Structure 1
Amino acid sequence: MKVRLSGDDDDVRLVAELLTEHLPVVTADRVQVGEPSAPYPNRRDGGSRRYVEVYLLDDAVHVRAEPDDTADSPAALPAARARATGIKGRPGRGLGG
């Protein structure tokens, strides 16, 4: 599937990098992500957009982000890992920020 990311230039870049680097890890390589496209300026709004190809390799993709997940859990989403390790994201941008 093709995923479109649209918004602030830095946020779009960061989310594209996070998807590319972490989605395969948290899904035990059952989901793969292609290289993000180059940024394109948005036509009507400020910021930019990028496209990312996401490949589902099997039907059994189950991940969770529950408070008791630890940073060592392969099923923990980054937000759960951030909570478990105390990592803070940018204010208003998720990851417990």
Structure 2
Amino acid sequence: MKKEWLVAFHSTHHAIAAERLAKEQEWNMEMIPTPRDISASCGLSLRCTEPELVTADKVIEKFNEKKVLWAGVYIASDLKGRQKTWELIRSEKEEDNI
């Protein structure tokens, strides 16, 4: 089973555009409040609810194609107590250097 992941955004505008695009693509993703340990300008993130069916690379490729700005992709790490921790695995800053 693949680990849970999410995409954080810089603005609510882009988070909503991403949610719309995810629905058009029939990706099982849900809008959630951005976890506290993730620093992004926007309070909304999209969490992949079926990581075995859609990859972060595929989602980010489509976001980039459609000019949906995103801040980072995070993967759920071990639970600390009851709360998940999130590890940055890809950032928009890395994309600028490609």
| TM-score normalised over the length of structure 2 | 0.36
Radius of gyration: which is bigger?
1
Higher share of residues assigned strand: 2
Q: Which has the higher contact order (CA 8 A, sep 6+)?
A: 2
